[in-house]
Chain A
């Protein structure tokens, strides 16, 4: 199980997957749920699958009866649920720390005498 660098699109995909960990979804559906541009989700899914967080399989349907090509469905693995949960929690913690430090800076700025304040143009 390898760790992955977390970018915003990766986090969005993880959050969508974690919302319903048992549900299988195909790439285009997931891209639509997350709001990613269609066609750009596969590097993320491949990275997750490569890290062992996702498992995938081609659906077994009669393509003539369905009238469409086969889809590939993705689902979080049990190890993936844990790793993805931890990654999402770490990201939330970072966001919260940033927001706290931002609030602290704003408070400090407000308490500083007016003559020492920096003006942003």
Chain B
């Protein structure tokens, strides 16, 4: 079925577009041109095996382009600018705390009908002992604890959120094989040290908890606005990264605005109490 469909060059062309989408933006058109030319020469019978071979070697091709592109290599420059790397750090770093906060705080608050539990005074409404932190298999607990802690990071303010965003974002960019690996690793380590230092200061009382109080979520809102600005202004972003930044940034800014309303404050106090 697929084989017969690939006899249509239009479908083969669409398949090359899908494959090319996985390559760095600056290299896509060139590689798509090569695949299209080869498929045209091969003819309908061999197209499927050609595309499967291209799919199998796609990760290697992507790695080669990212590793070797740039000045003096002969390949088009696909390395990211500083602004592009910064925008991606913000995207990957902010994604965890924002998603975790939405899932662990307002979604649980309304889905588990916490206001009725509080009003009734009989049922348990402690966020640490409600589903999914209770009533789920023990082996899933690391997932829920990680989400719970990431949700806390979103409300703890600049001393926690900023190092968290920089550390997790830099590690994510590093894992994706981007440029400036040494610098990114150094930044991630520095941020990790700053995060551990902030946690240690809070646990020993050296850092007053007020610093990480209800207003801490404003930091998330500010970083959200920066993310939206990056989505609009930074040039070397893929469509996916740009959309992600806009969505995560809007959600983060929305969180800060919503928690300033009476309804939002009630939810936030429930979570932080």
A residues adjacent to B (C-beta < 8 A): 2, 26-28, 37-40, 42-43, 46-47, 49-52, 54-56, 58, 68-72
Contact = CB atoms under 8 A, between A and B. Distances in A.
Contacts of A46: 61, 64-65, 68, 75
Interface of B: 30-31, 33-38, 40-42, 46, 49-54, 56-57, 60-61, 63-65, 67-69, 72-75
Contacts of A58: 30, 33
Given A50-B73, A50-B74, A51-B68, A38 B53 contact: yes
A72 B34 CA distance: 7
Contacts of B49: 37-39
A54 B34 contact: no
A68 B41 contact: yes
Contacts of A68: 37, 40-41
Given A46-B64, A71-B34, 17 more contacts: A26-B34, A26-B37, A27-B38, A38-B38, A39-B57, A40-B53, A40-B57, A43-B57, A46-B65, A47-B68, A49-B68, A50-B64, A50-B65, A50-B75, A52-B72, A68-B41, A72-B37
Contacts, number: 85
15 contacts: A27-B34, A28-B42, A39-B49, A39-B51, A40-B53, A43-B57, A43-B61, A43-B63, A47-B64, A47-B68, A50-B64, A50-B73, A52-B74, A70-B37, A72-B37
B61 A42 contact: yes
Report whether over half of chain A's contact residues are helix, strand or loop; otherwise say mixed.
mixed
B54 A49 contact: no
A72 B30 contact: yes
B73 A52 contact: yes
Nearest to A26: B37
A47 B41 CA distance: 24
B37 A69 contact: yes
Nearest to A55: B74
Contacts of B41: 28, 68
